[in-house]
Structure 1
Amino acid sequence: MSQHHLDVIIVGGGHNGLVAAGYLARAGRRVRVLERLDHVGGAAVSAHAFDGVDARLSRYSYLVSLLPRRIVDDLGARIHLVRRRYSSYTPDPETGGRTGLLIGPESTFAAVGAADDAAPFADFYRRCGTVTRRLWPTLLEPLATRSQMRAAVADDAGWQMMVDEPIGHAITRAVRSDLVRGVMATDALIGTFARMGDPTLVQNICMLYHLMGGGTGDWDVPVGGMGAVSAALAAAAAGFGAEIVTDADVYAVTPDGEVRYRHGDEDRRVTAERVLANVTPAVLARLLGDTEPDLTPGAQVKVNLLLRRLPRLRDESVTAEQAFGGTFHINETFGQLDSAYTQAAAGHIPDPLPCEIYCHSLADPTILSTALRESGAATLTVFGLHTPHSLMRSQPPERLRDALTSAALASLNSVLAEPVQDVLAQDANGRPCLEVKTTADLQETLGMTHGHIFHGALQWPFAEDDEPLHSPAQRWGVATPYERILLCGSGSRRGGAVSGIGGHNAAMAVLQT
């Protein structure tokens, strides 16, 4: 078994590991990234998902909000993001989608009988902004305490509604329409299985992260797809001298910095001053031989589609480009979200399934070949909420996959003028261009424990007042029980989503040691 000694070993070549590698290699550290798969990027990848079809879909993660421009500039990564023209469109389920709420340059609150909610809706987000704008720049700094952060925000009412009480209370006080309340609530529930009044406030933390990106909460489209983001970060890290090894299956880590992995037919051993874990905390515990923590399960399903054209809508007052140009909410009223939670908690797939759609190709057609663009083809990503990993126990995986697919398509079709199946493209073998990714797929393929897209429940982006902040790892929110082992992925204190923040903060902790 060959052995080498390096400054830093990074276990996992997802985007956070690549960010950490870039910063550390730029600082002159000898860095090796070990990735189990034959490519880097983790969940931030693009793929030709359909045989013989030249479309590069963002297979897992799909939008960018929390990636600070500072990280991109520091590493010289060639990442280009574009803004969507519209924020969202929400067909009204009470009219079968014949009317709907468009939010953007021309908002249409009156179309769903909610004209009086327009001003308080805007006021609610202005108040949220007093918190998020102050929190955003601290994500690339050592952790502040709760008291320090509250004083810095200097808006007790905003802090109260976003941090101290269930965010559902503030939403229901702000607006009256069940549909408008639902539009507001979804940001608290993406990838988080909770009620809006949950006293644990996990929904508040989720909403905070969804509204915090850039201080504004804008979610942008990565040009070239998510794979372009990871490729740019990998190129930056390699350019600074980081070594990136794929097909490297790490099977053991020791607290003193030894890492064992298989590469080809050879078992290899490497030691380092620091080991950064770009895997879930449960996977890290398994590698260390420790008891695995009981991480919160994931709760979503993702359906990727390629269409011959965008489907027709029942609402004739909006164009397909307007409706699909932002986030398209389906069966996500406040009441429907609560009912869906109740059904899922009882072990049933919600009916109707709350979903939201994103159309990458409208904002960035470069992911399609010239022929597909000229034909009018479009990509759709359908993201279903309240489908917890516990449903995997209810029936065999393939049967559940089929049931979740049917639920997502039925929910979508409930507000369309034609079944989406009628406009599905076909691959080279005549099969419909549709793929489904469940929590089981995320666990099996990407090693995301219980399929949780955030590597477990998100945490507040500040420390509690009595929390120890003695070491650099503690101050940067990347500590483990072992001094030489640090978290650097979504499971770190300010991880979650495609942000690079976990990788940046782990690198800073190493450089300050």
Structure 2
Amino acid sequence: MTVAYDVVIVGGGHNGLVAAGYLGRAGLRVLVLERLGRVGGAAVSERAFAGVDARLSRYSYLVSLLPRRILADLGVRVELRRRRISSYTPWQRDGRAGGLLVDGGDAGRTGESFRELTGGEREFAAWREFYGMTGRVAERVFPSLTEPLPSRAELRARVDDPVAWAELFERPLGEALERRFADDVVRGVVLTDALIGTFTHAHDPSLRQNRCFLYHVVGGGTGDWDVPVGGMGAVTGALAEAALAGGAELRTGCEVVAVDPGGAAGPAEVGYLDADGVERQVGARWVLCNAAPAELERLLGGEGRGGERPEGAQLKVNMLLRRLPRLRDGAVDPRDAFGGTFHVAESYRELEGAYRAAAAGRLPSPAPSEIYCHSLADRSILGPGVPEGSHTLTLFGLQLPARLFAEDPVGVRAAALAGVLAALDGVLAEPLADCLAVDAAGRPCLEVRGPLDLEADLRLPGGNIFHRDLAFPFRDGEPGGAADAGRWGVGTGRPRVLVCGAGAVRGGGVSGIPGHNAAMAVLGR
């Protein structure tokens, strides 16, 4: 077969676009094949409600891991806004309703909120000590994510903190949380970062929770989660422009149906259906896969990887409100409460109870979730026809694994939605339904997607938003696969096929890091 391209990239999500940008700028002939009618993957902005000019970040919604270095290398200009409020967590005790407000711009206000909850100074001091530690780890680990993959020993030396290494990399996270914190609410706020999209618990011996937590606290070298101005589509739109400017060719509506990995001497071959449904083949020196590893195995003619199907564990609810709802806690302005991450039913005991219920095959009650209001930081996503005072809300439900939806996806999705909204109503002074806007047909502006919907929409096996379980950002022993692929954590065991998506060793989240690292592996050879 004639080798028409140096690199064919399977999937036009943000990581594929990053890889295309780097490789095109290096002078390689690059083709990106995207199944959907647009690029961007899960990082897109769309008008989800008929007749309503609001561009929601429909799937992914915040940015933490995307290095400024990648944006600078590709000449990409996007604006990421820092949220002053980190989080707000309603609580009710002894007939009192309050809320733990973590204000990143006012340590005194945060300390007072801790004292109101716990009656003393201990928890706030423990909080500052713990996040001081994670901040130092972030400063040391984050730069390594766009460098050759370090060994375990090399990364440990880089962290240079035996306590941090033990708590984050070697022992179940629950041990550190129970030793450091006494309050159930405070423990829960910390634990939530270990459970985003991951079905696990604080004492899981596999350390699945530790890996998830690490990626959530090292982003940007600070752990801050920023709002992309213009929505996620603005980020991937700029990356697509950078790829095109570098000479890459982007084809949408083209579904890859098979990958022949080639051999040491021969080229790889990609079979795909073009936009007209015509079957075509294209040869390349390299194939970079921006799909999940299990999906790549299917394209290679296998049954999947590792024998265990990936599983997501979340419910995503997009909403448009006429106004923000009033809170039972009258001491906090709703604009502050919803300005960061709004935690619902996420105390330590509630998160553990939700895990045990779901593991036993039941929907959790109360249903834990966290909520984000993009429009408080960025009004540009709301068009001029949207009334003043309107806001978007994104609700992300936890501990809702795909297995719960398998028998009755539609019915269980409706029940799960009812559960998370009931838990939210429990901390509001008015029903959320009274605040929802309506679309052109008079229907409430509310969209819900469960794990199996993400599998259908985006080909994420089991709805796993990370493509598979996250991995620690180091290698044990020698790199696997071809030397440069192993050095960058993107190898597949097939010399001409690399992973460039979230399933890479340093994948997960909206980061561009796997795309960068796969490009570096190709350019190194």
CA contact (8 A) 1:58 1:226 kept: yes
Question: Is the partner of 1:381 in helix, strand or coil?
Answer: strand
- The 2-side partners of 1:71 and 1:142 are apart by 15
- Contact 2:453 2:463 (C-alpha < 8 Å) held by counterparts: yes
Distance in structure 2 (CA, Å) of the matches to 1:408 and 1:483: 46
Q: 1:362 aligns with which of 376, 380, 383?
A: 376
Residue 16 (structure 1) aligns with: 15
Deviation digits for residues 437-461 of structure 1 (CA, Å, limit 9, x no counterpart): 1101110110001100000100000
Contact map agreement 1:167 1:204 (CA 8 A) in 2: yes
> What percentage of residue pairs aligned between the two structures are identical?
55
Contact kept, 8 Å, 1:97 with 1:416, in 2: the verdict is no
* 2:272 paired residue among 241, 261, 266: 261
Residues 64, 440 of structure 1: CA spacing in aligned structure 2 closer, same or farther, 3 A cutoff? same
Match of 2:63 in 1: 64
Matched-pair contact (CA < 8 Å) for 2:480–2:493 = no
Q: How far apart, in 2, do the equivalents of 1:274 and 1:178 lie?
A: 51
Corresponding residue for residue 208 of structure 1: 214
Alpha-carbon offset, residue 465 of structure 1: 3.3
Residue equivalent to 2:361? 347
Q: CA offset at residue 130 of structure 1? A: 2.6
Report the residue type matching 2:261 in the other structure.
Answer: P
Q: Secondary structure at the match of 2:494?
A: coil
Give the corresponding residue for 2:524: 512
Matching of residues 35-114 of structure 1 within 5 Å: 35-94=34-93, 98-104=97-103, 105=106, 106-107=109-110, 108-113=113-118
Distance 2:44 2:460 in 1: 15
Q: 2:486 aligns with which of 474, 480, 485?
A: 474
- Kindly indicate whether the alpha-carbon contact (under 8 Å) linking 1:88 and 1:323 is maintained by their aligned counterparts in 2: yes
**Larger mean Cα displacement after TM superposition, 195-204 or 87-96:** 87-96
Distance 1:95-1:261 versus aligned 2 partners, 3 A rule: farther
Q: CA deviation at 1:512?
A: 0.5
Alignment equivalent of 1:248, drawn from 251, 254, 269? 254
Q: Is the Cα–Cα contact under 8 Å of residues 183 and 332 in structure 1 kept in the other structure? A: yes
Q: Structure 2 counterpart of 1:345, which letter?
A: A
Q: Distance in 2 between matches of 1:461 and 1:313?
A: 41
How far apart in 2 are the matches of 1:327 and 1:125?
A: 17
Indicate the SS of the match to 2:438: coil
CA distance in 2, matches of 1:47, 1:102: 31
Once the 2 structures are TM-superposed, how far is the Cα of residue 110 of structure 1 from its aligned partner? 1.8
Shift of 1:114: 5.0
Cα offset for 1:226?
0.5
* Of 287-296 and 301-310, the range deviating more from structure 2: 287-296
Q: Which residue type is aligned with residue 223 of structure 1?
A: V
What is the aligned partner in structure 1 of residue 502 from structure 2? Answer: 490
Residue 65 of structure 2 aligns to which amino acid in structure 1? Answer: L
Change (3 A) 1:46 1:243: same
Q: Structure 1 stretch 483-492 or stretch 462-471: which is displaced more?
A: 462-471
Alignment map for 1:190-209 (pairs within 5 Å): 190-209=196-215
Q: Say yes or no: does 1:382 pair with 2:381.
A: no
3-state secondary structure, aligned to 2:203: coil
Contact 2:405 2:413 in 1 (8 A): no
Match for 1:410: what amino acid? A
Instruction: Report deviation, 1:405.
Output: 1.0
Question: Does residue 431 in structure 1 map to residue 419 in structure 2?
Answer: no
Cα distance 1:301–1:182, how it changes in 2: closer, same or farther (>3 A)?
same
Q: Calculate the TM-score normalised by the size of structure 1.
A: 0.97
CA gap 1:399/1:3 in 2 versus in 1, 3 angstroms: farther
Change (3 A) 1:386 1:94: farther
What's the CA shift for 1:371?
A: 3.5
Q: Which amino acid aligns with 1:59?
A: R
The alpha-carbon deviation at position 96 of structure 1 amounts to 7.9
| CA 1:475–1:235: 2 relative to 1, 3 Å | same
User: Which among 415, 418, 423 is matched to residue 411 of structure 1?
Assistant: 423
Which residues of 2 match residues 273-422 of structure 1 at below 5 A? 273-293=285-305, 294-372=308-386, 374-393=387-406, 395-422=407-434
Q: Helix, strand or coil: the match of 2:393?
A: strand
Question: Who is 2:155 aligned against?
Answer: 149
Contact 1:167 1:203 in 2 (8 A): yes
1:429 to partner: Cα distance: 0.1
> Quick one: distance in 2 between partners of 1:34 and 1:469?
25
Mapped to 1, the partners of 2:32 and 2:93 lie a distance apart of 52
Q: 2:78 touches 2:228 (CA, 8 Å); kept in 1?
A: yes
The change in CA–CA distance for 1:58 and 1:197 in structure 2 (over 3 A counts) is same
Equivalent residues of 1:130, 1:155 under 8 A apart:
no
Superposition CA RMSD, Å: 1.4
> 2:513 pairs with 480, 489, 501, which one?
501
**Unpaired segments ≥5 residues, structure 2:** 263-267
Q: Name 1:229's counterpart in structure 2.
A: 235
- Tell me the SS of whatever aligns to 2:343: strand
Question: Counterparts of 1:97 and 1:11 in 2: how far apart (Å)?
Answer: 54
Q: Report the secondary structure of 1:200's partner residue.
A: coil
Instruction: Write the distance in 2 (CA, Å) between the matches of 1:275 and 1:479.
Output: 11
Q: What SS class does the counterpart of residue 505 from structure 1 fall into? A: helix
Q: Cα–Cα, structure 1 residues 501 and 134, in superposed 2: closer, same or farther, change >3 Å? A: same
State the distance in 2 between where 1:290 and 1:339 align.
38
Q: Which amino acid aligns with 2:215?
A: Y
Report the TM-score, using the length of structure 2 for normalisation. 0.95
Alpha-carbon offset, residue 285 of structure 1: 0.6
| 1:469 positional shift | 7.6
